[in-house]
Chains A and B, each alone.
Chain A
Amino acid sequence: MKQTGIAVIGGGPAGLSAALEAARLGARVTLIDSEDRPGGQLVKQTHKFFGSRKQQAGVRGIDIAARLAREAVSLPGLEVWSRATVLGYYDDRVLAVERGGEFVKLRAERAIVATGASEKVLAFPNNDLPGVYGAGAVQTLMNLHGVKPGKNVLMVGAGNIGLIVSYQLRQAGVNVKAIVEAAPRIGGYLVHAAKVRRAGIRIYTGHTVKRAYGRDGVEGAVIWRLDRNWEPVPGTEKDFEVDVICLAVGLSPLADLLWQAGCRMRYIPELGGHVPERGRDLETSIPGLYVAGDVAGVEEASSAMVEGRLAGLMAAAGLGYAPADLVAVKEELHNQLAALRSGPTGVKIRQGLAQLGEPYNAN
């Protein structure tokens, strides 16, 4: 059986930040990520990031990922396992890992789960046809592998992801016929909405998909209007000839591992679904098991990075690697999180965290 001080599960911005923080403090860290290279969602983000200066707003996601990953591989004490998937976490602090087709056991004194989120789906007739893809899938295909998802796309969802991916589709030379949004208003930031409108893409707010059609794949989609009570209005149907329906209808925490480990979980829609109870310093109901990033509540890369640092700091401190000014460093991170969650864009997160209860559980 292999041994490590801190196992970090997931190599997105949260996991990378956690691993870097803990290793810099002197802890022995193993970062385990299922992809070819660390970076998580960031490796597909060609746009310049929003957020605050401290969290590298204005830098492209792909460049943030590359920088964090470079730092990770050059740091002694930090080992990166790519193409490795954590399958289970057990009472004796042992992780079961599938690595390159082999089964490996890893005992870790502390573990940080930073597995991110998975995409939600939307129910409508024929939503299982080939050509109905998640926005993340479209990004992966297009921005990592250089393959277009199709010729004509109907985007569903005008949150930030729907808007950004629509723009990215345009960059790749794919036609976006329209964006459909069930809510009466655009959910994403207005800068992104302005960008897609300038590109000539029409956004239909207060509309949803009635059905998709096609034989062996999507050949078209019918949308219709929703009234004030979110009831569809017959007679308002519009038909789009598209070969792709791209769903950007939100994410939910990828929390399987937390369920399996036996963490106390709560259903909080504002945070994307089932999330773990955790103390203010991100320790779950299982001592020594921490969370950070989207798996703890769907948010943004900026807050994921700060949460990662906090979890890394606390896990390392628990093993005797606390910095002399632990309390000050910790409070600074809490302040950064509070700043990121302030203002109108942070309302949902604040409400979600409030529902978890102060200080987020009974720890």
Chain B
Amino acid sequence: MLRIQEHPILRFQKGRPVRFYFDGKELEGYEGEPIAAALHAAGVKVLRESARFYRPRGFYCAIGNCSSCLMIVDGEPNVRVCTEKLREGVRVQTQRGKGDLRQIKAGEGN
């Protein structure tokens, strides 16, 4: 269990529990936390495959600077999931290679 249950100094205020989907699999997290944090807590560390050598990649900076954590979120590629907030029912997919904006279907993403 990677969620911190007790801390000597900090109290964590969490949003309500919500369900979301990672590569089709249903997972649970808290509304408003970064998608990467919810995935990490659920044991998911590989977020994408690198563009040239298809190597597994996770997050690195966790504050939206480095682009190591790009994933496909509700059909939109290249989303930095370390800062993108978790919402009920959001669909998150492993990104393989470069994101292709033409994948976005009308009415999906934002």
Q: Say whether A associates with B.
A: yes
B-binding residues in A (CB < 8 A): 34-35, 46, 60, 62, 101, 118-119, 121, 128-134, 136-138, 140-143, 145-150, 171-173, 216-217, 254
Is the beta-carbon distance between B46 and A145 smaller than 8 angstroms? Answer: no
What chain B residues lie within 8 Å of A254 (beta carbons)?
Answer: 65
Is the beta-carbon distance between B2 and A147 smaller than 8 angstroms? Answer: yes
Is the beta-carbon distance between A145 and B64 smaller than 8 angstroms? Answer: no
B90 at the interface (CB under 8 A from A): no
20 CB < 8 A contacts A-B: A60-B9, A118-B61, A129-B58, A130-B56, A131-B45, A132-B58, A132-B60, A137-B60, A137-B62, A137-B82, A140-B62, A145-B33, A146-B3, A146-B12, A146-B14, A147-B3, A173-B4, A173-B5, A216-B46, A254-B65
B 1-16 binary contact with A (CB < 8 Å = 1; else 0):
0111111111010100
A134 and B40 CA atoms in complex are apart in Å by: 15
B77 at the interface (CB under 8 A from A): no
Q: Which of B4, B57, B58, B59 contacts A148 (CB 8 A)?
A: B4
Is the beta-carbon distance between B10 and A147 smaller than 8 angstroms? Answer: no
Is the beta-carbon distance between A146 and B9 smaller than 8 angstroms? Answer: no
What chain B residues lie within 8 Å of A141 (beta carbons)?
Answer: 37, 40, 62
Q: Which residue on B lies nearest to A151, using beta carbons?
A: B2
A143 and B7 CA atoms in complex are apart in Å by: 10
A119 and B60 CA atoms in complex are apart in Å by: 10
Q: Which residue on A lies nearest to B45, using beta carbons?
A: A130
What chain A residues lie within 8 Å of B55 (beta carbons)?
Answer: 128-129
B47 at the interface (CB under 8 A from A): yes
What chain B residues lie within 8 Å of A60 (beta carbons)?
Answer: 9
Q: How far is the CB of A92 from chain B (nearest CB, A)?
A: 28
B63 at the interface (CB under 8 A from A): yes
Is the beta-carbon distance between A145 and B56 smaller than 8 angstroms? Answer: no
> Known interface pairs A46-B10, A146-B3, A148-B2. Does A118 touch B56 (Cβ–Cβ under 8 Å)?
no
B18 at the interface (CB under 8 A from A): no
Is the beta-carbon distance between B65 and A147 smaller than 8 angstroms? Answer: no
Interface size class of B (residues with CB under 8 A): 20 to 34
A-binding residues in B (CB < 8 A): 2-10, 12, 14, 33-34, 37, 40-41, 45-47, 50, 55-66, 82, 110
Is the beta-carbon distance between B46 and A142 smaller than 8 angstroms? Answer: no
A172 and B41 CA atoms in complex are apart in Å by: 14
Q: How far is the CB of B106 from chain A (nearest CB, A)?
A: 18
Q: How far is the CB of A63 from chain B (nearest CB, A)?
A: 10
Interface of B is mostly: loop
> Known interface pairs A128-B57, A136-B61, A137-B59. Does A171 touch B46 (Cβ–Cβ under 8 Å)?
no
Is the beta-carbon distance between B4 and A130 smaller than 8 angstroms? Answer: no
Is the beta-carbon distance between B63 and A136 smaller than 8 angstroms? Answer: yes
Is the beta-carbon distance between B4 and A142 smaller than 8 angstroms? Answer: yes
Q: Which of B8, B9, B41, B62 contacts A136 (CB 8 A)?
A: B62
Is the beta-carbon distance between A217 and B46 smaller than 8 angstroms? Answer: yes
Q: Which residue on A lies nearest to B2, using beta carbons?
A: A148
> Known interface pairs A129-B56, A150-B2. Does A137 touch B12 (Cβ–Cβ under 8 Å)?
no
What chain B residues lie within 8 Å of A149 (beta carbons)?
Answer: 2, 40
> Known interface pairs A142-B4, A145-B12, A148-B2. Does A217 touch B62 (Cβ–Cβ under 8 Å)?
no
A145 and B110 CA atoms in complex are apart in Å by: 25
Q: How far is the CB of B48 from chain A (nearest CB, A)?
A: 10
A132 and B62 CA atoms in complex are apart in Å by: 12
What chain B residues lie within 8 Å of A146 (beta carbons)?
Answer: 3-4, 7, 10, 12, 14
What chain A residues lie within 8 Å of B60 (beta carbons)?
Answer: 121, 132-134, 137
What chain B residues lie within 8 Å of A147 (beta carbons)?
Answer: 2-4, 37, 40-41
> Known interface pairs A146-B12, A150-B2. Does A118 touch B59 (Cβ–Cβ under 8 Å)?
no
Q: Which residue on A lies nearest to B6, using beta carbons?
A: A173
What chain A residues lie within 8 Å of B9 (beta carbons)?
Answer: 46, 60, 171
Q: How far is the CB of A83 from chain B (nearest CB, A)?
A: 9
Is the beta-carbon distance between A172 and B7 smaller than 8 angstroms? Answer: yes
Q: How far is the CB of A150 from chain B (nearest CB, A)?
A: 7
